[in-house]
Structure 1
Amino acid sequence: MEEHKYLDDLKEIRQMMRRSTQFLSLSGLSGVLAGVYALIGAGSAFKILEAHHLQEPYVILESYTFKKLIAIALGVLIASIVTAYLFSSYKAKRNGETLVNTTSKRALYNFALPLLTGGVLCVLLLRNGHYGLLAPMTLIFYGLACVNVSKYTFGDVHYLGITEIVLGLLAAYFPGYGLLFWTLGFGLCHILYGGIMHFKYERNRKK
């Protein structure tokens, strides 16, 4: 009986230590929904590009088509951020934790630094007309952000990051297929890894 109590105490101490060093309020379902948003956005972008190429072979920075593509990308990004915030807030509240703490701030910093660096680089590439590098760069830097933040959250995020980096390199190697690799990376991979995280860490815990 005492041995069982001792093991329970050790388990509780271990969980407390893990909570103090890792951001565990990240929701797998928010990842799934982010993937769904990305698939919807990619489908819309494909239709817009298909209609555009019937009239002109290239999309330039000043074109209305490009502005629509940027609007779609921003819409997907904002919807994903809002969803992640809402689901993570709910999960933190359910677990009796606060969403904003030292660990979450550390995780956010390590995630945002590579992501913002990649964002600035993408803007510079756009200004110089290197449109074909946008998909590879967004995938690669998002992957680096995931790898960088993985030490402060679930380990599965590390493998998501590696997958995104590989897809980004493939997108750079096969020019002209950027939208396809972008769809795989931000759409299908988010759904896959989000589903894995949900069943691995959330659904089983509910039971």
Structure 2
Amino acid sequence: MNQKHQEDLMHIRSMMERSSRFISLSGLSGVFAGLSALIGGLYACQLLEKEGVGYFESNEVEFSHDLILQLIIIGLLIFVSALGFGILFTVRKSKKNDLPIWTSTTKKMLFNLAIPLVAGGVFCLALLYHQFFVLVAPVTLIFYGLALVNAEKYTFSDIKYLGFCEILIGCISLFYLGYGLLFWIFGFGILHIFYGLVMFKKYK
């Protein structure tokens, strides 16, 4: 009898979790997002070296308009790639587990995720406009971390730990501006891959 009660409680708990949290996120999304950032970040390093920009030698770096445009394109390609992999693996996992994707919980999670991301995006555009290029990498890390922490209550709680790490790395990189790109590669690339593998193993 006690075993039946425990099974019923576990079933009720599972139903409540499904209705209140978006649990279709796949760890593979994090892995491939990290790989996209890692490849894109390393390519950006090579591009800077090719253009003769001493990014790691000084806080005062001059970028040509063509170089800025190329870096923006690289950033957009990384974003589109990460987003595409996220959608692909999320849809695949939801179908596998017979879970709906577009629910009120999904909308709440995306809304809470979008607030810091949009604010951070506008802030980064302002930094680019005023030519504070060395601050872009730390700012993207910090606002992305804030977005993850803000969206945590509508998905896996583990995501907040990734958010805290991103915020911490971003804050540290503020004091090492010449190495912001390396911190960015570590935060968006390596940390994402590690987090994705842990999540995949835990929730597969």
The TM-score with structure 1 as length reference comes to 0.93
Q: Distance in 1 between matches of 2:84 and 2:10?
A: 34
Larger RCO (CA within 8 A; separation ≥ 6):
2
Identical-pair percentage? 45
Q: Distance in 2 between matches of 1:158 and 1:121?
A: 22
Cα contact 1:30–1:87 (8 A) shared by 2: yes
Please name the residue that 1:78 is paired with.
80
Q: Which runs of 5+ in 1 are unaligned?
A: 203-207
Choose the corresponding residue for 1:115, options 114, 117, 129: 117
Choose the corresponding residue for 1:133, options 132, 135, 147: 135
Aligned amino acid, residue 32 of structure 2: L
What SS does structure 2 have at the residue aligned with 1:53? coil
What SS does structure 1 have at the residue aligned with 2:51? helix
Q: Distance in 2 between matches of 1:200 and 1:140?
A: 26
Please name the residue that 2:34 is paired with.
35
How far off is 1:54 after superposition?
A: 6.1
How far off is 1:55 after superposition?
A: 9.7
For residues 1-207 of structure 1, the aligned pairs below 5 Å read 2-53=1-52, 58-60=61-63, 63-202=65-204
Cα contact 1:147–1:161 (8 A) shared by 2: yes
How far off is 1:68 after superposition?
A: 1.1
The TM-score with structure 2 as length reference comes to 0.94
Cα contact 2:53–2:62 (8 A) shared by 1: no
Please name the residue that 1:205 is paired with.
none
Aligned amino acid, residue 122 of structure 1: C
Q: Distance in 1 between matches of 2:151 and 2:54?
A: 43
Cα contact 1:59–1:65 (8 A) shared by 2: no
Q: Which string of whole-angstrom CA distances, capped at 9 and with x for unpartnered residues, describes residues 94-142 of structure 1?
A: 1111110011111000111101100011001111111111001000000
Matched residue pairs, number? 200
1:58–1:112 CA distance, 2 compared to 1 (3 A): same
Q: Which runs of 5+ in 2 are unaligned?
A: none
Q: Distance in 2 between matches of 1:200 and 1:94?
A: 16
Q: Distance in 2 between matches of 1:83 and 1:3?
A: 44
Q: Report the RMSD for the aligned CA atoms in angstroms.
A: 1.6
What SS does structure 1 have at the residue aligned with 2:122? helix
Q: Distance in 1 between matches of 2:173 and 2:151?
A: 23
1:55–1:4 CA distance, 2 compared to 1 (3 A): closer
Give the ranges of 4+ consecutive aligned residues of structure 1 lying more than 4 Å apart after TM superposition: 54-57
